[in-house]
Amino acid sequence: MNIIWNKSSEQFHLYNDRISYIIGVAPCGELSNLYFGKRIHDRDDFTYVMFRMGMPNIVVDADTESYSMELNRQEYPSFGTTDFGTQAFEVETSNGSRISSFVYKDHRIYKGKHGITGLPATYAEDDEAMTLEVDLEDEVAKMSITLFYTVFEDYPVIARHASFTNTGSERAKITKALSGCLDLPDPDYEWIQFSGAWARERIPKVRKLSDGITSIESKRGVSSANQNPFVIVKRPNTDEFTGEAIGFSFVYSGNFIAMAEGNSYKRLRILMGINPDRFSWPLDAGQTFETPEVVIAMTDRGLNDLSRTYHRLYNNNLIRGKWKNEPRPILNNNWEATFMNFTEEDILKIAAKAKEAGVELFVLDDGWFGDRNDDYAGLGDWKENPEKLPQGMAGLSRKINAMGLKFGFWIEPEMVNPDSNLYRRHPDWVLSVPGRKSSLGRHQLVLDFSREEVVDHIYGMLHKVISSSSISYIKWDMNRSLTEVYSLEAAAEDQGTIYHRYVLGVYRLYSKLIEAFPDILFESCSSGGNRFDAGMLYFAPQAWCSDNTDAIDRIRIQYGSSYGYPIVSIGAHVSAVPNQQTGRTVSISTRANVAYFGTFGYELDLNKLPEEDFLEVKKQIEFMKKYRRLIQFGDFYRLRSPFETDQCAWMTVSPDRKQAIVGMYCLRSNVNTLPGFLKLAGLDENTLYRMEGREYYGDELMNMGITLDLFYKNGFTVSEDYSSFVAVIEAV
Ligand code: DGJ
């Protein structure tokens, strides 16, 4: 990895073994993108890739030899001079002008990577990455912009963000500040987004790109289940194993926009950042605003390779603390077993059976605090309900620990029910517009986390419960979108900052809790997967993937999630049948065969299982304990798509390629068909492997494939709905 500055041509070349990213100062002084793709040799000058043509209707800069921004690729484009595309940022000066021209001023190149104040970001040691900071200045606007680029040694990745500083003496306003822009020289790409809704999150949807705009966004205050802040552009012939693709992953948990725009000259512009709708940020003299980070990954080896890049980068350089690269505890959560209707005795019975099965961690979900017996009351009152927990969290955690289980509990710190002591005492602490009704979501209002005192107060309450007990895990939930976003404390001109300040408040509370309790494993949750994003992973190393725990639906949800997020971050549990969300009945083995490919746990009362299922659960837990490092941290391959076929298959391979596990699932039976073949991947061609009592060479498994009737004896048959198998492959 290196970053070269070629002074005579004023060009930067960032590269590692797999990629080159080349930027130059254009004749107009702004930065132009010259290349991003597979690694190429360095040269003194790549200016020849800039177009200089005076064509009718194109506005050119007369002083700079017919250079038009519209015809060239920009690095951080503005609007208002010679580019008519969508701009990456917009600054409004005190005289009302929104025209800007930020020209190259200075730069710094250094080893490693700095953090971003108050925001999550990838991190790197000095030998893992190099960073370039380029300062741009607009003398008229009296503002400077610094663009940050990090190239990693081990990943085909560029991480980007920007910062704005008011260098003048008057207040200015930023009305748009995206994190990055990538202009590509041709538009022959398809766009993959991960869309859905509650209980059907992150479903891949593919669109062909063309002239004009393709875009997704969130305006819900959370990254959202509707559109995930991760997109891929790929060549039309790129598949899981071959071809070019570029991923854009936003390390942020609030409103966002991701956009592709093809212009009339074959330029394809990709933009990602905080959604400019409802955003504005006043900047007084000397103040700085920093954007979140966007992680741009590139592959010429297909989508599986792109996903593995994100899996590895996020496991090694985003997730932090004790749980970084640590296999996750097998847990039992009581939510679907009891909902809010439980006594301590009920909980202890469920926990005792969980312990008997081999579970390691018991999680008490919603309903333990305040007057929380249904979802109409109690949120905000983070004090144990003595009727449910007579000796408080301290007493319950002691009893659970005495069984030999770790203990954790559920919180939803950003919310308040109108029927709560917190709301009665502080009705002005919610997001609401004076004189207007505030919309309820699950009978709750959103606390104004843009205010420090609100965050500090919630922290105080939570700190008390956590520090009085023995807590190893916390599930942090968030169950509604933000509406009527207005802070009763902020001035009129600051109201455009509130969505972002809210997210900063969430991150601040996470940071304070992590600092106070560094060993706690946090699992983020937002009505399931409503806030499953790279920003959250910096604080909570795993995320409850969906409230839909039906194994068959989960195959699709987990398959979609695997494109951008590590397997170890995907919260997945076995739940009861008929499934509470879908009414579907699926065998205990298929339920586990799906949940293995995630954090793994149980979301039910094991006392209620038939004896033979309980015996099976014991075996499942033994299996997961033995193979969880391989499954959670191995090289993951999607083999067969449940979106294109009635089957699904995926596998994970150990880094030394001596061990692998394959999962195969039948979503819908097909009568009178042959079982067919499944080609495996990622193995060593010359190694002899054993699977299900037979031996095969790696090349045989990967090129010829296995015939699926081999697994009939394990209960898998392509002619039976919801059958599945998981097989271990080991080098002989
Ligand atoms: C929504 C979560 O996704 C569920 O798992 C559960 O924790 C409930 N909230 C509790 O209210």
- Distance, CA 524 to ligand 1 centroid (Å)? 11
Question: Could you tell me if residue 495 is left (phi over 0), alpha (psi between -120 and 50 degrees) or otherwise beta?
Answer: alpha
pLDDT tens digits, one per residue of 365-385:
999 999 999 999 999 999 999
CA dist 127 → 19, 420, 448 (Å): 17, 52, 41
DSSP state of 520: P
Q: Of 633, 660, 687, which one is at a domain's C-terminal end?
A: 633
CA distance 513 to 522: 10
pLDDT tens digits, one per residue of 458-501:
999 999 999 999 999 999 999 999 999 999 999 999 999 999 99
- 226 in a domain, yes or no? yes
Is 362 in the same domain as 503? yes
**49: its two tokens:** 């890739």
- 400 in a domain, yes or no? yes
Contacts 24+ apart (CB under 8 A), 649-653: 649/678, 650/559, 650/562, 650/597, 651/680, 651/681, 651/682, 652/567, 652/597, 653/681, 653/682, 653/683
Is 304 in the same domain as 341? no
**127: its two tokens:** 């030998």
Sequence letter at residue 151: V
Pairing of the two strands 19-25 and 706-707: unpaired
In this structure, which residue's CA is closest to atom 11 in ligand 1?
366
φ/ψ of 300, rounded to 5, equals: -120, 20
- Distance, CA 428 to ligand 1 centroid (Å)? 26
DSSP state of 545: -
pLDDT tens digits, one per residue of 19-28:
999 999 999 8
Rounded to 5°, the CA angle 576-579-583 comes to 145
CA distance 5 to 19: 17
- 567 in a domain, yes or no? yes
Is 649 in the same domain as 628? no
- 323 in a domain, yes or no? no
- Distance, CA 486 to ligand 1 centroid (Å)? 26
Band (pLDDT 50/70/90 cuts) for residue 66 is confident
Q: Which residue has the higher pLDDT, 98 or 670?
A: 98
Is 629 in the same domain as 704? no
Sequence letter at residue 606: L
- 106 in a domain, yes or no? yes
CATH number for the domain harbouring residue 715: 2.60.40.1180
Probe target for ligand 1 pocket from 201, 333, 366, 531, with the most ligand atoms within 8 Å of CB: 366
Probe target for ligand 1 pocket from 544, 581, 603, with the most ligand atoms within 8 Å of CB: 544
Is 227 in the same domain as 356? no
User: For the chain, how many helices (H) and strands (E)?
Assistant: 12, 39
Is 231 in the same domain as 379? no
| pLDDT value of position 176 | 98
DSSP state of 712: G
Coil, strand, or helix at residue 141? coil
- 326 in a domain, yes or no? no
pLDDT tens digits, one per residue of 391-435:
999 999 999 999 999 999 999 999 999 999 999 999 999 999 999
Q: What is the DSSP string of 629-659?
A: HHHHHSEEEEEE-TTTSSEEEEEEE-TTSSE
Q: Please list every protein residue whose CB sits less than 6 Å from any atom of ligand 1.
A: 335, 365-366, 410, 477, 479, 525, 527-528, 544, 547
Is 423 in the same domain as 509? yes
Q: What is the DSSP string of 419-444?
A: BSHHHHH-GGGB---TTSPPPPBTTB
Is 441 in the same domain as 307? no
Average pLDDT over every residue of 341-370: 98
pLDDT tens digits, one per residue of 187-211:
999 999 999 999 999 999 999 999 9
CA distance 318 to 322: 13
pLDDT tens digits, one per residue of 666-715:
999 887 777 789 999 999 999 999 998 999 999 999 999 998 776 665 56
Band (pLDDT 50/70/90 cuts) for residue 62 is low
User: For residue 64, is pLDDT > 90?
Assistant: no
- Distance, CA 498 to ligand 1 centroid (Å)? 26
Is 52 in the same domain as 139? yes
In this structure, which residue's CA is closest to atom 2 in ligand 1?
527
Looking at the CA of residue 339, tell me the nearest atom of ligand 1. Answer: 10
CATH number for the domain harbouring residue 109: 2.70.98.60
The chain-wide mean pLDDT, for the chain, equals: 96
Looking at the CA of residue 547, tell me the nearest atom of ligand 1. Answer: 3
Candidates 310, 91, 272; CA nearest to 179 is 272
- Distance, CA 329 to ligand 1 centroid (Å)? 19
Catalytic residue among 477, 550, 605, 635: 477
CA distance 161 to 111: 17
Candidates 392, 581, 358, 366; CA nearest to 468 is 392
Which range of residues forms the domain containing residue 655?
640-731
CA distance 562 to 680: 17
Q: Of 633, 656, 683, which one is at a domain's C-terminal end?
A: 633
Is 722 in the same domain as 574? no
Q: Of 600, 633, 666, which one is at a domain's C-terminal end?
A: 633
CATH number for the domain harbouring residue 472: 3.20.20.70
- 322 in a domain, yes or no? no
635 is catalytic: no
- 324 in a domain, yes or no? no
Q: What is the DSSP string of 263-312?
A: -TTS-EEEEEEE-STT--EEE-TT-EEE--EEEEEEESB-HHHHHHHHHH
Looking at the CA of residue 365, tell me the nearest atom of ligand 1. Answer: 7
Dihedral angle computed from the Cα positions of residues 463, 464, 469 and 470, in that order, rounded to the nearest 10 degrees = 10
Asked whether 179 and 272 are in contact (CB, 8 A), the reply is yes
Is 269 in the same domain as 170? yes
- Distance, CA 517 to ligand 1 centroid (Å)? 23
477 is catalytic: yes
Is 148 in the same domain as 268? yes
Residues in the chain, total: 732
User: What's the number of domains the chain is made of?
Assistant: 3
